Amino acid sequence: MIRIDKVMLAAAVSCAALAGAARADGTVEVLHWWTSGGEAKAVGELKKAFEAEGGTWVDSPIAGGGGDAAMTALRARVMAGNPPTAVQLKGPGIQEWAEQGALNNVQDVAEAGNWDKVLPPALASIMKYEGKYVAAPVNIHRVDWIWGSPEALKKAGVEAMPTTWEEFNAAADKLEAAGLIALAHGGQPWQDATLFETVVLGVGGADFYRKALVELDDAALRSDTMVASFDQLRKLRGYVDPNFSGRDWNLATGMVMRGEAGFQIMGDWAKGEFLAAGKVPGEDFLCAPTPGKGFILNSDSFTFFKVSGDDNIKGQKVLARLIMSPEFQKVFNMAKGSIPARTDVPLDDFDSCAKRSHEDLLAAIENDTLVPSMAHEMAVPRSVRGEFLDLVTQFFNSDMSSQDATTRLADAVQRAM
């Protein structure tokens, strides 16, 4: 889900400058599933930065299944006693591997770089096991965004981006009355779940979101607030065009870009599509948080597996430092659409949507309204997430009642725990 700008070409130079005269060797084998054109270029920039410090990078890309194939290969490698040096891994998956004793920590690098001071506490806790860093984040994606078409909204007489679900529904009704698609959406389970979690945040607030989608509290899952969340999700389903089934997320972004649809609800990787097409925030497209006064966090990270040999261990430490360097975080995230995982990276050269995201991130940290994404594997184990995706997609593609959906979801989560 990455679009790479020409600014990425400066990554190797920037990160090499970080090292200065302190050249370092070391070897890393990196297992990841960033294999599409833009994604491969992104991980390639990290490779260049590592090699600029004199290290040896062994690339191990495994395509398919949103990381499922990579996880299968990883399990086989660990069982055989031959794990990669670093692996693209997210959320609770990091903790699960750490509990099995499969990870090395890079705590000395983190302490030298003051990671505790520059990372949001909620993100830092995901990167740690028993108080020590075992992973390094490359970015922060905000999931709860509404992207808008100024052309479509003007045609429909919608004067501003919505700030509540009631305002969203009213704007969507105007778009449909004007003969436009109200909500551009792709009918894939993870996209349906993305809509669902933004609705839960907007209907119930951050505390309810945390209880239901992170802590998996049974009372919250069976509550009237969850029923109301499914009611709003049903409203959103009614604003989607008939051809949504199986549509990729970037094609839905294109519908907004062309003025065919008024809105898309999608993480800020959608912004990469607009920027890659030369579109300007505030002029050619609009951005606003979905209702809820919170911040749904998604983050890509690399996790460090238990390897032996001075060369491999040195490589891990160099890679960890490069990932968290302000220079690399800047060039990587300017192109990707996300914002740096570090909260101290200056955003002078970032676009207005990124600056809004950063401001809201700091406010969410202050107000304890920063919550991890369920849909994007930051909140719950994969088995539990699968139950959410299955139920939400069934609801989205049927006439299931909100009450039935609420009961069935709670039952499914209990079975998976």
Adjacent-strand bridge partners of 288: 146
Architecture of the domain spanning 145-297+370-416: 3-Layer(aba) Sandwich (3.40)
Q: How confident is the model at residue 38 (pLDDT cuts 50, 70, 90)?
A: low
pTM for this model (two decimals):
0.85
Helix ranges, 143-188 (H): 150-156, 165-177
- Let me know: does 282 contact 310? Beta carbons within 8 Å: no
* Domain-wise residue ranges, the chain: 6-141+299-357, 145-297+370-416
Whole-number percent of the chain with pLDDT over 70: 93
Supply the pLDDT for residue 332. 80
Query: Could you give the strand order of the β-sheet that contains 86-88, starting from the edge strand earlier in sequence?
Result: 56-61, 27-32, 86-88, 301-304, 135-137
Q: Which helix (DSSP H) or strand (DSSP E) does residue 288 occupy? A: strand 286-289
Kindly state the average pLDDT of the residues 391-397. Answer: 97
- Let me know: does 318 contact 325? Beta carbons within 8 Å: no
Q: Which helix (DSSP H) or strand (DSSP E) does residue 361 occupy? A: helix 352-367
Q: What share of the chain is helix, strand, coil (3-state, %, to 5)?
A: 55, 15, 30
Kindly state the average pLDDT of the residues 117-123. Answer: 94
Kindly state the average pLDDT of the residues 301-329. Answer: 95
Fold match, 6-141+299-357 / 145-297+370-416: yes
Q: Which of 96, 126, 92 is nearest to 385 (CA)?
A: 92
So what CATH class is 6-141+299-357?
alpha beta
Taking 70 as the threshold, does the pLDDT of residue 32 lie above it? yes
Taking 70 as the threshold, does the pLDDT of residue 331 lie above it? yes
